[in-house]
Structure formats: structure tokens, C-alpha cells
Amino acid sequence: MCGIAGKLLFEPEGRVARADIEAMLRPIAHRGPDGQGIYLDDNAGLGHCRLSIIDLSTGDQPMANEDETVWIVFNGEIYNFKPLREDLLSRGHVFRSRSDTEVIIHLYEEYGADCVRHLRGMFAFAIWDKKHRRLFAARDRVGIKPLYYCQTPDALYFASELKAIITDPAVSREISLPALRQFFSFFYLPGEDTLFRSVRKLLPGHYLLAEDGKISFRRYWDLQFTHQRWGQSFEETVEELDGLLAATVRDHMMADVPVGILLSGGVDSSAVLSYAVQGTAKKVKTFTVGFDGGQVVDERPFARLVARRFGTEHYDLSITAEDFWNFLPAYAWHMEEPVCEPPAVALYYVSRFARQHVKVLLSGEGGDEAFAGYPNYPNMLRLDRIRSALGPLARPTGAAAALVGALFGMARVQRYGTALGRPLADCYFSRTSSPSTFFNRSAQRFFTPEFLAASAPLSAPNTMAELLRPAADWPLLNQMLYADTKTWLPDDLLIKADKITMANSLELRVPLLDHVVLEFAASLPPEFKVKGKQTKRVLKAAFAKVLPEAVLARKKAGFPVPYENWLRRELKGKVEDVLCSPRAASRGYYRNGAVSRLLQADSLHGSYAKEMFSLLALELWHREFIDRSTCSSV
């Protein structure tokens, strides 16, 4: 795992200065504290900071082929690099290292841009083809590793993190108000947008080519829901999935440094651990974070149970409200986007602790998105059955239910009433948002007219309608899974997973998001994933052979953090000091008194913690990325 950065001047006679690449690497040095490298070739410059995981002695980057006509900077891991290497050797390619990085170079020589189709892993990389004066950059299929880029009239910039790009004075820091409106709708930024108008994210499953002053983009992979396994029995599918997961986790254990497991005590991380211990004779180390006081489910007892079951060397820790608050400025700096993801704070502390013992962690992230583990899936399916039964009465019935829910403070009734009788794109922005959330239903009262007018071009329903167009004929469950895999998963969960663990120079791997596992899940009939109130059926059945019943039967807790209580109790004064400050009011987004009224409403009703954290994250983001003249670590 590493950090990459680079710059390509469109003028062939131009010269990229070493100082420019050094400046880009400086704010992302935490991604690779084991070494830095720079390659310059007239109008092109590549930079790399290395976290050594595989081939510790000869894996330095930027790396070149034998005649130094192809150069690469690479962030990630390629889990099938050994068979790929053997095939390339048989084709006459000559290797100078045993790293997965060099495999990509020779794949590019062999297949050009199609090299990405051969890779199984998580990656973001850029290749400078010296002979053709071409830059080729790609991001993995699911979006596990980030890649940002910026195109100015004179140059193309790219980097693992946004902050590396904006070190250059030529890159504008103008805020995109339509993107900000998207944040208020989704609580994160879906798709290509960042809050900077000039900087974008390369989409998962895409690559870019820059040649002769022109930049083109192409999608090389998309998740397709097929009928491939609809004829199999449930039992046959469970057996096949068990074998696939065992092999996938074994591949993800590959490293030349210590590997541990991020253990929540939930089904997915416990199952990843069960497969991990099968593939190694070494004692596996596991790590858990919890909270005292009974305000949320404490994961630690469940994690300890699983750790004893599999004989791990187990560690856990607890964090406080003060710990939570103290990290928030650094949260804004590391996340780079005002994502509403309070569990990221807990992840920071547990990964910081784990880094004292290991350099790589595996987690159970992704099982819910691949195999439908969230309760909103059966809830929406039930709603769809009601909609079908009501026929033309669905819309007026839904409107009446939404009104009753709003009048009597019944959020769930209001949410499902709003959704009844409406297209999926109108009622299901993604797993985290809907038209009934506060910022959507109260936009006219909360935001200034000027902000609403300037941010109007984008809308959440339009975003989702466009995204769901290829899935229009799929079963409803598959449409929801597709939406979440394209939005919530890469732009919230995986941004959190990458940025926060790399803040501690720690590599996080997510075997349940291996694209082969995702494609397997997408080939199953919907009822193998959700039936009645049962979620993740086939995955839990595969895990039933190895996990304690107490873990299998426990209610889903996610990664609970008692931030709601903290924000309205222990941290209430500090939150008010930030959000009600003249500095925050000067942004021009909110009507006079709107934020104060929201905080007061939360104190009375206790239902706006997500909105409060989002406003807090946004204000801290402004202070780090807009108010500061330079972007340096907090």
C-alpha cells in the first residue's frame, strides 16, 4: 500500500520540476513512510511513497521495465500476481523483482490498456509510456483504492489523495455548490465529484488515457446481475461459496509482513477470521474497539468470544468522547471530503493501535453490500409488495402516511409513506438517505435562497435515476444492491477504510469485496440473499459451519459509536461553539438561526445527530482546506 502522485504537462517541450512532485508527496507521506521515489521525463513526472508489504528489498517505485520505456507508480495489491508472472515469463518477459508491481508493467506491455482486465485485487496506478508519450491510469473495479485527478489548461494532475493535487497553485480551490448540495442529500459525495470544482475522482472500474494533449476515459468493468446460478440448489450454492471464500481470504493473507484481523464480533469479520486461521500456522492477531457506558452495543464481548474460538492473540481498546472530539480536525484532513461517517473515528484509534503489531489488516467490509445484509432491503421489498397491492391508490395512501408521520414525529412512517408509490430513484437515493431526511425535506427553511439557487443544477433523484438506468429491468433487490455498490460503498465506506487506515500507515484489505466474490453474489437469485426478514441468507449459511451460534444469531450492529449521545451531552458546548460561530455563519449556506434551531430540536427530540455531525464535518473541512493557505497535516 502506498501513495502515488504525478503531473503531465500538455506542452511537450515543458519540464516538470522535481520540487512540484516533492510538494505533492509531502501531504501524503503517511501513506508510505518506508521510502519515496520520483521519476522525471521532460513533461511527465511520477512520485511514490512506499509502504513495504511485498518484496521488501526490490520493490521500490517508480519502477520500470527492462529498457526503461515503461514506468509505473502503483498503490494496492494484486492477489493473482504469481500466476500472472508465470504466464508472462512463459511469453518471454524478463523480471527484475518479485513484486506484484512489476507484473502490471509487463501486462501493459503485453495487453496495453486491457491489462486491467487481468488483475484481481485492489489498485490505483499510473503508467508513463515513454515511447508513446502516453499516461495511462486506472482504478480497481470496486473503488477500494482512491485516485483523484485534475485537468487544467496546461496540465493533468493525479494522486491517491486530493490534498496532493491542490498543493499546486495552478489548481483552483473553488467550491462546487452543486456538489455540496449532493453532500447534504447523501451525507457523502457520490460519483466523480469532490467539493472542489477542479478536482474529480476517477470512477471505480475506469481508466484514463492522456496522449497528445487529450484525455479520454473508459469503463472496463461494471457489476452485472445475471441468472447464472438461478438453477442451482441453495445447498450447492452454499458449498461453492464456502470454497470461494476460503480461497479468497487465503489470497488476501499474502504478505511479507505481519497480518491481523479487524474483528467486530459480527458475522462477516468473524467469518473472515475463521478462513484466515485455516490458511496459516502462525497465531493470528485480532483487534477490536468498544465503548463503555452501555450507550451502544459493545462489540468487545462478542469479539473476545470469537477470538477464543479461533485461538487468536486478541487486543481491544475503548475510546471516550474526548478522544472522539480530539480527532475531528484530523478526521477532516484525512477524509478530504465531509463524509458523515462517525465510525471512522473509532477505526482510526483501533488501526493506530493495531499498527504497533501488524502492517496489514483484513476486515469483513462489503458482506452487506454483496449479499444484502442491511434491514432496509427487506423493508423496501415489503414496501414494494404493498405498493403492488394498492395499485393506483399507492401514491395518495403514501402521501397521507407521510403527512401523519410528519405531524406526529414518526420518522419511519414518514419515510415509508414518502417512498410509497414513487420510483426507486425518487425514494432510494442510496442506503443512507431519502427525501424524508432533514436536509431534503427542510431545504427551503434551512438553506439560504442564494445557496439553493446556485446549487440547483444537480439533484439526488436525477443522480440515482441516471445511475439506475442500466438496472431498470432487474429485480428490485438487485437494483438497490447496484445503487449501493456504485455510491455508498466506494464513496463512503471505502473512502473511510482507505483514508483512515492509511492515516496510520496501515493497509486494510477487504476480501468480501474481491470482484469475483461480488460477481458470484450478483449471479444468485434474490431469495438466496433476502427472504422475508432474513438477510444475507446464503452467506450466513456458508458461515454456519465455523461460527459460534451466538455470533450468527446476534442482531446486526454495524460499527456502533455512541456519537449521538456524545454530541448532545458531553460535547454539546463544543459543537455549538463550532457550528454557531461567526466563522461558520459566514459560509453563506444556512439561514440565520437555522443551525441553532436544529441543535435545539436535537436536544428536545434527539433525532438529528447525523445532520449535526455532517455540519460539523463540513465546517472543519472548510477550516482545513479553504481557510488555510497551505494543506499540511493537522
Q: Which residues are catalytic?
A: 2
Number of CB atoms found within 10 A of residue 201's CB: 23
Using an 8 Å Cβ cutoff, are 358 and 383 in contact?
no
Number of CB atoms found within 10 A of residue 542's CB: 23
Cβ-proximal residues to 51 (8 Å cutoff; 6+ apart), any chain: 1, 2, 31, 32, 33, 34, 359, 502, 505, 507
Q: What is the 3-state secondary structure (H, E, C) of 21-40?
A: HHHHHHHHHHHCECCEEEEE
- What are phi and psi for residue 626, nearest 5 degrees? -110, -45
Using an 8 Å Cβ cutoff, are 335 and 495 in contact?
yes
Residues β-bridged to residue 430: 433
- What are phi and psi for residue 493, nearest 5 degrees? -60, -50
For the chain, the distance separating the N- and C-terminal CA atoms, rounded to the nearest angstrom, is: 22
What nine digits make up the cell of 6?
504525478
Rounded-to-integer distance, Cα 218 and Cα 212, Å:
17
E-strand stretches of 107-152: 121-129, 134-139, 148-151
Rounded-to-integer distance, Cα 304 and Cα 299, Å:
9
Rounded-to-integer distance, Cα 267 and Cα 371, Å:
12
Strand ranges of the sheet holding 199-201, from the earlier edge strand across to the other edge: 36-41, 44-50, 2-9, 155-159, 148-151, 199-201
